[in-house]
Amino acid sequence: MNNIDDQKVSFRLLVDSIFTADQLTRIQDDIRTISQLAFKVGAGSFSSQIKNRVGSSLYLYILSLEKEKRLPAAASLGNFLSNLAGFLDGIDKITLTLAFEPSVDFQKEIVLWLENNLGRKIVVDFVVHEGIIGGLVIEYHGKYKDYSKAAEINLTANLQ
Amino acid sequence: MITLLVLILVLNIILAFLVLIAILKIAKIPLVKKPESAKNTKLSKKLEKSLEAEIEKLIATAGRRIDAKLLEYFQALVDDAVKKGTELSSFIEKQQGAIVKETQFLAARDITKLREDLDRYRADKFAQIELQIKGMITNVAKQVLGKVIDVSTHEELVKAALERAKREKFMSHE
């Protein structure tokens, strides 16, 4: 899998399963860990070596590449992981502050909505703060906007 | 006034002295008494009596004139004092009137200022109370709303907020 476009298609298999900033951070940490193992290929497959060292997302991704025989050879594995890390670094991140603990389904729904509307891969850092009452607060590319009910109530109180 | 009295007295004495000299000249009596003969002694005593009487008359006349002048002068002083007293009384009345008016003005001004201060104080207090009430209502509203909102409503509020952010193009690339 030397072709860069092929690599990106492959990366998306992994990226599609990521929707929160925490997941992304964990996978980035895992990639740093297995990057050191890539040059010490010993007995057994690469996936078997990393199985107990990384999270399930990256393990299953590597395993699927092995099964499909798309995982690069040991010599170019380091380069492949480096490209993967770079690809993950380029993913847009949005911080959303909510007044409640969102379910996983709702988190996915929100991320999908954002990706559909922004037209690119997005990961969300969900922060819970009951003080905002309802709605949300958005932080994106250094900008901040308060769409919370607390802000509305404060605004109403100040206008009266 | 004392100077005037002394002056009048001196003038009268000089006048009396001049009259005495004139009488002595007319009667051919030397000013310095020479030793007289027994023949002239009687005449001399007669003249002396006559002279004393004249002098007394002159002194009495001068005294009356001085008294009259003094009376006139004192009357003028009294009249002047009365006049000045009347003027002073009028001045005092005017001053009293001015003081009363000024006091009334100052008192009225103090009352107006006091009213203004009270109004301002009342307005400030009301504003503070209003602010406190607003803060209490806001806090209560937040607490009540925070507890009342269920998960599905929370989710709807989040979606609505995202739609609003989309309309405002908040997340569009710069």
Question: Chain B within 8 Å of A150 (Cβ-Cβ)?
Answer: yes
Chain A residue numbers touching B159 (CB-CB < 8 A): 113
Question: Whole-angstrom Cα distance, residue A34 to residue A85?
Answer: 11
Domain ranges for chain A, please list them. 4-89, 92-159
CB A149 within 8 A of CB B144: no
Which A residues in the span 75-114 are in contact with B, Cβ-Cβ below 8 Å? Answer: 94, 96, 98-100, 102-103, 106, 110, 113-114
Chain A residue numbers touching B160 (CB-CB < 8 A): 135
Query: How is residue B139 written in tokens?
Result: 């806090």
Q: Is the ipTM of this complex over 0.90?
A: no
- The pTM (predicted TM-score) of the whole model is 0.55
Predicted confidence at residue A43, as pLDDT, reads 60
Predicted confidence at residue A102, as pLDDT, reads 96
Question: Whole-angstrom Cα distance, residue A28 to residue A81?
Answer: 10
DSSP letter at A71 equals S
Helices (H) and strands (E) in chain A, counts: 7, 4
User: Is B137 in Cβ contact with A94 (below 8 Å)?
Assistant: no
- Closest chain B residue to A155, measured at CA: B138
Query: How is residue A114 written in tokens?
Result: 């954002």
Chain B residue numbers touching A94 (CB-CB < 8 A): 171
Question: Chain A within 8 Å of B35 (Cβ-Cβ)?
Answer: no
Nearest in space to A19 (alpha carbons), one of A134, A99, A103, A79: A103
Which of B143, B159, B171 to mutate against chain A (most A CBs within 10 Å)? Answer: B171
CB A13 within 8 A of CB A61: yes
Per the listing, tokens 């710069």 go with B174
pLDDT in tens, A109-137: 999 999 999 998 999 999 999 888 899 99
Chain B residue numbers touching A130 (CB-CB < 8 A): 146
User: Which residue has better confidence, B166 or B4?
Assistant: B166
Question: Chain B within 8 Å of A123 (Cβ-Cβ)?
Answer: no
Question: Chain B within 8 Å of A116 (Cβ-Cβ)?
Answer: no
Mean pLDDT value across chain B: 84
Question: Whole-angstrom Cα distance, residue A59 to residue B18?
Answer: 159
Predicted confidence at residue A29, as pLDDT, reads 93
Burial (0-12, 13-18, 19+ Cβ within 10 Å), B76: exposed
Helix (H) or strand (E) holding A140: strand A135-140
CB B171 within 8 A of CB A95: no
Which one of B135, B145, B164 has the shortest CB-CB distance to A147?
A: B164
Nearest in space to A94 (alpha carbons), one of B154, B173, B146, B164: B173
Query: How is residue B4 written in tokens?
Result: 């005037």
Q: Is the pLDDT confidence value at B33 over 60?
A: no
